[in-house]
Amino acid sequence: MTERVVAQGTFDLLHPGHVHYLREARAMGDELHVIVARRTNVTHKDEPILPNRQRRDMVAALNPVDAARVGHPDDIFAPIEELEPSVIALGYDQHHDVEAIEAQLAERGLDCAVRRASGRERAYDDELLSTGAIIERILDRRD
Cα separation of 26 and 130, whole Å?
Answer: 20
- Indicate the SS3 state at residue 110: coil
93 carries a ligand binding annotation? yes
72 carries a ligand binding annotation? no
40 carries a ligand binding annotation? no
Q: Is residue 44 within 8 Å of 32, Cβ to Cβ?
A: no
Cα separation of 84 and 119, whole Å?
Answer: 26
Q: Is residue 94 within 8 Å of 9, Cβ to Cβ?
A: yes
11 carries a ligand binding annotation? yes
66 carries a ligand binding annotation? no
Q: Is residue 55 within 8 Å of 36, Cβ to Cβ?
A: yes
Residue ranges for the known binding site for ATP are: 10-11, 15-18, 93
Residue ranges for the known binding site are: 10-11, 15-18, 93
